[in-house]
């Protein structure tokens, strides 16, 4: 019989390349290799936020360029704003499965190439040739392609980071990566103000309103700088030791074909642990995935990560993809003054929202995630966000401007010091390496499905039942999200690969007892 393997937490094959640099400093104090990994993986989330949220000021600029300042057609506006999220669902499923089946190295960087291609095609929109409606359709189609790349970055960067992180710093590293969304939104708002300031003489001084065409193209094109700057690093990143070692773990076979595929020891198949010399492509990966999640103890966790992310994104994206409603309340909707003044006010309003809530919320999570744990942060984030939504919905027409700003800033803070961050961290930490990217992609795709629903129906619902009632729907989503979080275990200090190996050993012992 083969010699028993070491426990996975002691097995040197599962040691991260970064572990040797661990100097027992606080989790948020990073070493140089960790900072380098943060730069490689974090740029994807910087671009994610930048590209997804820049569409708000871009859509306003297209009103002046294509429709003489009038509102975009409701359906096309929804399609334009939902386009990147529609693509994200495809990218999250596809890249997540490919990362587990083919390996991280074989896939990582390809999603960034898609983002670069889609960005170049987006800024090529022929606004002077096509009709206004066709221009929006043209741009929306390439934003779907952009979304495939952005969506693919979710499971890719999450699995690459989790594979390489020390256990005691894993949550902090993931939170650092995800916090780049806050900086992406902040830089997007700041870039809008700066580029508009550059064009002030043409737009306001000479009344050349068509120059907004150049403004939005520059804003979209600026995202190419960090994308090109990181591409080479992603394409050349080596495979992690943890992923290689995960290929040595095999669940019990469920057919004779599985048995024949395994190595044998003295003529007998060793079905539980298969020793391999290098990473191989398993044709049976999908079957193994189904076998693993056919057990309720695993399925309920996947249901929990998918449901929480879905419910969170209905509320989070419902508000952030339609910030014009919020900007109206705080006096930065850009409804008065010259065209340039209107656009500039929207940019300043978005900057205020981002600075007050986005960035501080992400960093609160970075500093406390290894202390408070993911489950506590997620539940309190959902519940406090629900409370704030109830206040805004109940007093929507009565709140003073300062009170509204405070409530909305706190809402953004507890979205990000809460479920918006932890729903990303959870699937990267709770599932074993063998299925991590696939499960993360499914969870993220569930979230983007919620974002798509919000983008497509928010405007229509607001007109039909009123914005306060839509906010009450978001309130219900947050309460439900807190309930579904109860399906999830706390993952602080939890190594899913060790648990997976123990489960395989249990099955081996049970199978031996039945013989």
* 55-106 pLDDT tens trace: 878 888 888 888 887 888 877 887 887 788 889 999 999 999 999 888 899 9
Question: To which residue do tokens 């202390």 refer?
Answer: 371
pLDDT-based confidence at residue 288 (cuts at 50, 70, 90): confident
Cα distances (Å, whole numbers) of residue 261 to 284, 290, 332 = 10, 18, 64
As a whole number, mean pLDDT of residues 455-466 equals 76
Q: Is residue 214 situated within a structural domain?
A: yes
Least reliable range by pLDDT among 36-40, 63-67, 192-196, 333-337 = 333-337
Q: Is residue 279 situated within a structural domain?
A: no
Q: Is residue 15 situated within a structural domain?
A: no
Bridge partners for 264 per DSSP: 269
pLDDT of residue 277: 34
With a cut of 60, say whether residue 282 has pLDDT above it: no
Q: Is residue 361 situated within a structural domain?
A: yes
Q: Is residue 438 situated within a structural domain?
A: yes
Sequence-distant (6+) residues with CB within 8 A of 404 are 329, 330, 392
Burial of 218 (0-12, 13-18, 19+ CB in 10 A): middle
- Which of 455, 288, 476, 269 lies closest to 385, judged by CA? 476
What range does the domain containing 203 cover? 27-242+290-513
**Is the CB of residue 263 less than 8 Å from the CB of residue 275?**
yes
As a whole number, mean pLDDT of residues 291-309 equals 94
Q: Provide the token pair at 468.
A: 């306060």
Q: Provide the token pair at 250.
A: 């095999």
Q: How far apart are CA 20 and CA 22, in angstroms?
A: 6
pLDDT of residue 267: 41
With a cut of 50, say whether residue 256 has pLDDT above it: no
Structural domains in the chain (count): 1
**Is the CB of residue 401 less than 8 Å from the CB of residue 329?**
yes
Q: Provide the token pair at 52.
A: 């997804």
Q: Tell me how crowded residue 83 is: count the other CB atoms within 10 A of its CB.
A: 25
Bridge partners for 269 per DSSP: 264
SS3 content of the chain, % helix, strand, coil (to 5): 75, 0, 25
- Which of 173, 174, 246, 238 lies closest to 8, judged by CA? 246
Q: Provide the token pair at 85.
A: 């999220």
Question: To which residue do tokens 């039909």 refer?
Answer: 464
The pTM is what? 0.84
Q: Is residue 280 situated within a structural domain?
A: no
Q: Is residue 273 situated within a structural domain?
A: no
Q: What is the percentage of the chain residues whose pLDDT exceeds 90?
A: 39
CATH number assigned to the domain comprising residue 460:
1.20.1250.20
pLDDT-based confidence at residue 313 (cuts at 50, 70, 90): very high
Chain segment 384-412, per-residue pLDDT in tens: 999 999 999 888 888 887 888 788 889 98
pLDDT of residue 121: 94
With a cut of 80, say whether residue 262 has pLDDT above it: no
Q: Is residue 317 situated within a structural domain?
A: yes
pLDDT-based confidence at residue 439 (cuts at 50, 70, 90): very high
């Amino acid at each position: 019989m083969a010699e028993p393997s070491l426990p996975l937490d002691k097995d040197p094959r599962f040691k991260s390349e970064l572990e040797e640099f661990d100097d027992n400093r606080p989790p948020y104090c990073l070493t140089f290799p960790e900072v380098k990994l943060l730069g490689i993986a974090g740029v994807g989330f910087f671009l994610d936020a930048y590209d997804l949220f820049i569409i708000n000021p871009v859509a306003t600029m297209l009103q002046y360029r294509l429709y003489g300042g009038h509102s975009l057609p409701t359906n096309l506006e929804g399609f334009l704003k939902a386009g990147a999220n529609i693509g994200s669902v495809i990218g999250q499923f596809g890249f997540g499965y490919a990362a587990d089946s083919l390996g991280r190295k074989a896939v990582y960087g390809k999603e960034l190439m898609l983002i670069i291609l889609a960005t170049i095609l987006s800024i090529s929109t022929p606004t002077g040739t096509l009709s206004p409606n066709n221009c929006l359709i043209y741009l929306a189609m390439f934003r779907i392609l952009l979304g495939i790349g952005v969506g693919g970055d979710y499971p890719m960067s999450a699995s690459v980071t989790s594979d390489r992180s020390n256990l005691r710093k894993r949550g902090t590293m993931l939170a650092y990566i995800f916090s780049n969304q806050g900086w992406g939104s902040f830089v997007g708002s700041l870039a809008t103000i700066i580029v508009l300031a550059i064009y002030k003489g043409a737009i306001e001084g000479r009344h050349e309103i068509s120059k907004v065409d150049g403004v939005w193209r520059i804003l979209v094109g600026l995202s190419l700088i960090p994308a090109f700057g990181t591409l080479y690093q992603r394409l050349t990143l080596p495979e992690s030791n943890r992923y290689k070692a995960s290929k040595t773990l095999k669940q019990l076979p469920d057919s004779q074909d599985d048995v024949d595929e395994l190595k044998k020891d003295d003529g007998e198949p060793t079905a539980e642990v298969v020793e391999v010399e290098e990473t191989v492509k398993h044709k049976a990966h999908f079957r193994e995935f189904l076998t693993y999640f056919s057990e309720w103890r695993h399925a309920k966790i996947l249901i929990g990560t998918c449901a929480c992310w879905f419910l969170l994104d209905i509320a989070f994206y419902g508000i952030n993809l339609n910030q014009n409603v919020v900007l109206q309340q705080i006096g930065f909707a850009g409804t008065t003054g010259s065209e340039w003044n209107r656009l500039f006010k929207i940019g300043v309003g978005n900057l205020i929202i981002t600075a007050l809530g986005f960035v501080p919320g992400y960093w609160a999570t970075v500093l406390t995630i290894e202390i408070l744990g993911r489950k506590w942060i997620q539940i309190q984030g959902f519940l406090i966000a629900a409370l704030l939504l109830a206040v805004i919905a109940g007093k929507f027409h009565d709140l003073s401007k300062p009170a509204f700003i405070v409530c909305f800033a706190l809402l953004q803070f507890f979205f990000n010091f809460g479920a918006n961050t932890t729903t990303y961290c959870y699937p990267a930490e709770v599932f074993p390496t063998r299925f991590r990217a696939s499960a993360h992609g499914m969870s993220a795709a569930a979230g983007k499905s919620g974002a798509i629903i919000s983008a497509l129906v928010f405007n229509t619902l607001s007109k039909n039942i009123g914005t306060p009632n839509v906010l009450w729907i978001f309130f219900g989503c947050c309460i439900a999200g807190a309930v579904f979080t109860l399906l999830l275990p706390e993952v602080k200090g939890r190594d899913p690969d060790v648990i997976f190996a123990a489960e395989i050993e249990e099955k081996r012992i049970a199978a031996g007892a039945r013989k």
